[in-house]
Amino acid sequence: MAFDSLAFHEQAVRTPSHESVQAMRELLVETIRDHGPEPTVEAGNTLATKYGSKSGPHVVLNTHIDTVPPHVPVQREDDIVYGRGACDAKGPLAALLAAFFACDPSRGRLTIAITPDEETTSAGAAALDVDGDRYIVGEPTGLDVCTAAKGRFEGTITIHGSNAHAAEPKVGVNAVAGAESVLASLRTFDENGPGEHPALGTPTLTPTVIRGGSAVNQIPDDCTITLDRRSVPPETSDGFERALNEHLEEHADTACEFSLTDRETPFLEAFATDDDSDLVQEMCAAGGGDVRPFTAATEASYFAPAPTVVFGPGVLADETGAVAHADREYVRRSEIERASEIVHTTLCALLD
């Protein structure tokens, strides 16, 4: 029986995967077993590979099966399917599966590798070891060919002071007041940073949470400022932590230090693929839309520096507002079909 990407998509959106991906992974494994090579599950990832008869590139199709809460039931109105995961990322998943099943590589290898926890820890992607030469990562891009994305780091600046009675402020060191100097120093950090990236623009450094003090009549001895960093190449998370601490030591008039938030997996760092890569050129020739950056962080960063493109049906937001992660999440069925055609044509060009 031929694979019906639209029927699979609706079944996938009906299958909740915001708390556990078990049911969704069982559906995925059964679908691949019915239409392609025998799949395996490794570190939570679902994988299957097709082999050509001679040497050639190893192309990997990747997306994820987890979704953000809450579950939103599926609803179809003409060409549009609403529901949690409709575009992020079960629409891209349906398109990639259709292209995978339709492709019969004459050379190289074609792997589909689906991760279980992109929306949370990315433990599956961090454990994924497929050694690909080209990657197509399924996300809602409106069929545009996205060749770059900023990274996302987070961490906390801890400001140190010493307690005293608020009636005698000069005998203490006010950590909350010290935040003024720290915030001022943050505004100058990128004057000597990585600079403007040709595709991604400039990095951003944004203080998002501040906490300090425990009593109205006491000089506070501690204050913390949580930061959101959107990075551009070649900045790494470790390099950012080191550079920010050096900057604070030089420019902040208070005792403080910055540390990245502890994670089980590496931070999602920035990536950029050259527009003249054969992967980018073939996707554009196959009918992909504009070549542009993707505006959200993705697991694509784990696959760089191999040529990597983020691509798929659906959008993160439209003229009305948020789509992905919103209660009105939707995707157009015709875009799922068009996305699968574009990916299949690209695969044929790379693997025939």
Residue 70 CA from chain centroid, whole number:
19
> Which residue do the tokens 């307690």 mark?
163
CATH 3.40.630.10 is right for the domain spanning 5-149+270-351: yes
Please name the helix (run of DSSP H) or strand (run of DSSP E) that holds residue 279, with its range, or none.
helix 278-285
Catalytic residue among 10, 88, 118, 299: 118
Q: Which fold has domain 151-260?
A: Alpha-Beta Plaits (3.30.70)
Distance between CA atoms of residues 150 and 127, nearest Å: 22
Is residue 118 part of the annotated active site? The answer reads: yes
- Tell me what pLDDT residue 304 has: 87
Give the contacts of 140 (CB within 8 A, at least 6 positions apart): 87, 88, 89, 91, 92, 312, 313, 314, 315, 316, 323, 324, 331
Would residue 66 show up in a list of annotated catalytic residues for this protein? yes
Please give the model's pTM, rounded to 2 decimal places. 0.89
Nearest CA to 6 out of 98, 99, 143 is that of: 98
**14-23, long-range: CB < 8 A, 24+ apart:** 14/73, 14/74, 14/83, 16/67, 16/71, 16/84, 17/65, 17/66, 17/67, 17/85, 18/66, 18/67, 18/68, 18/69, 18/70, 18/71, 18/84, 19/69, 21/65, 21/66, 21/116, 21/117
| Confidence (pLDDT) at 113 | 98
Domain boundaries of the chain, sorted by first residue: 5-149+270-351, 151-260
Q: What is the pLDDT of residue 84?
A: 98
Q: What tokens does 26 get?
A: 């069982």
Q: What pLDDT shows up at residue 297?
A: 84
- Per-residue confidence (pLDDT) for residue 195, from 0 to 100: 85
Residue 38, Cβ density class (10 Å: 0-12 exposed, 13-18 middle, ≥19 buried): exposed
Q: How many Å apart are CA 28 and CA 117, to the nearest integer?
A: 15
pLDDT at 194: 82
Residue with structure tokens 């259709």?
A: 98
The single residue of 66, 144, 329, 335 carrying the catalytic annotation is 66
For residues 90 and 200, give the distance between their C-alpha atoms in angstroms, rounded to a whole number. Answer: 27
User: In a 3-state reduction of DSSP, which class is residue 266?
Assistant: coil
* Interatomic CA distance for residues 185 and 96, integer angstroms: 46
Supply the pLDDT for residue 193: 78
Kindly give the confidence (pLDDT) of every residue in the chain, 352 residues in length, as a single tens digit, with 9 standing for 90 and above.
Answer: 799 999 999 999 999 999 999 999 999 999 999 999 999 999 999 999 999 988 999 999 999 999 999 999 999 999 999 999 999 999 999 999 999 999 999 999 999 999 999 999 999 999 999 999 999 999 999 999 999 999 999 999 999 999 999 999 999 999 999 999 999 999 999 998 788 999 999 999 999 999 999 999 999 999 999 999 999 989 999 999 999 999 999 999 999 999 999 998 999 999 999 999 999 999 999 999 999 999 888 999 999 889 999 999 999 999 999 999 999 999 999 999 999 999 999 999 999 9
